[in-house]
Structure 1
Amino acid sequence: MKKKIYIAGCGGMLGEAFYAQFKDDYIIKCTDKDVNDAWLSFLDFRDLDAYRKDVKDFRPDYLFHLGAYTDLEFCEQNEDETYRTNTMSVENAVYIANELDIPLLYICTAGIFDGNKELYDDWDTPNPLGVYARSKYMGERYVCENAKRFLICRAGWMMGAGPKKDKKFIQKIMNQLKEGKKELFIVNDKDGTPTYTHDFAKNVRYLIENEYWGLYNMVCGGQTSRLEVTEELLKILGLDDKIKINIVTSDYFRETYFAARPACERLLNRKLNIRHANLMRDWKIALKEYIDNYYQGYLE
Structure 2
Amino acid sequence: MRVMIIGASGQLGYELSKVLQTHDPIKTYVSQEIAGGIKLDLTDYHSVEDFIIKKKPDVVINAAAFTDVDGCEVNKEKAFKINAEAVKHLVRASRVIEAYLVHVSTDYVFDGIKGLYREDDIPNPINYYGLTKLLGEAYVLSYDDSLIVRTSGVFRDKGFPIYAYKTLKEGKEVLAFKGYYSPISAKKLAEAINELITYRKSGIIHVAGERISRYELALKIKELYNLSGKVIEVDNIKGWIARRPFDSSLDISKAKKILSIDFYSIDDNLRFMVI
TM range (shorter): over 0.9
Amino acid at match of 1:88: E
Unpaired runs of at least 5, structure 2: none
d(CA) in 1 for partners of 2:168 and 2:31? 28
Q: Which residue of 1 aligns with 2:80?
A: 83
Q: Which residue of 1 aligns with 2:172?
A: 182
Asked if the contact 2:111/2:124 (under 8 Å) is kept, the reply is yes
Alignment of 1:126-141 (within 5 A): 126-141=123-138
1:243 matches 2:229: yes
d(CA) in 2 for partners of 1:279 and 1:208? 17
Query: Which has the higher mean CA deviation after the structures are superposed, 260-269 or 210-219?
Result: 210-219
State the Cα distance separating 1:186 from its structure 2 match. Answer: 2.2
Asked if the contact 1:122/1:270 (under 8 Å) is kept, the reply is no
Alignment of 1:1-300 (within 5 A): 3-24=1-22, 26-144=23-141, 146-160=142-156, 162=157, 166=158, 168-177=159-168, 180-187=170-177, 189-220=178-209, 222-239=210-227, 242-250=228-236, 253-254=237-238, 256-275=239-258, 279-287=262-270, 289-291=271-273, 294-295=274-275
d(CA) in 2 for partners of 1:128 and 1:186? 22
| Percentage of matched positions with identical amino acids | 23
Asked if the contact 2:174/2:229 (under 8 Å) is kept, the reply is yes
Asked if the contact 2:195/2:259 (under 8 Å) is kept, the reply is no
Render the CA deviation track for 1:13-38: whole Å, top value 9, x for unaligned.
110111111012x1211101113321
| 1:276–1:206 distance in 2 versus 1, CA, 3 Å | closer
Render the CA deviation track for 1:33-78: whole Å, top value 9, x for unaligned.
1133213221112212211222222221111111111111110011
Structure 2 length-normalised TM:
0.94
d(CA) in 1 for partners of 2:261 and 2:147? 15
State the Cα distance separating 1:185 from its structure 2 match. Answer: 2.5
Unpaired runs of at least 5, structure 1: 296-300
d(CA) in 1 for partners of 2:220 and 2:36? 34
State the Cα distance separating 1:237 from its structure 2 match. Answer: 1.7
Amino acid at match of 1:94: V
State the Cα distance separating 1:169 from its structure 2 match. Answer: 1.1
d(CA) in 1 for partners of 2:233 and 2:123? 29
d(CA) in 2 for partners of 1:22 and 1:113? 30
Moved beyond 6 Å, runs of 4+: none
SS in 2 for 1:68: coil
Structure 1 length-normalised TM:
0.87
Asked if the contact 1:8/1:45 (under 8 Å) is kept, the reply is no
| 1:41–1:35 distance in 2 versus 1, CA, 3 Å | farther
Asked if the contact 2:171/2:230 (under 8 Å) is kept, the reply is no
Calculate the aligned-residue CA RMSD, in Å: 1.7
Amino acid at match of 1:264: D
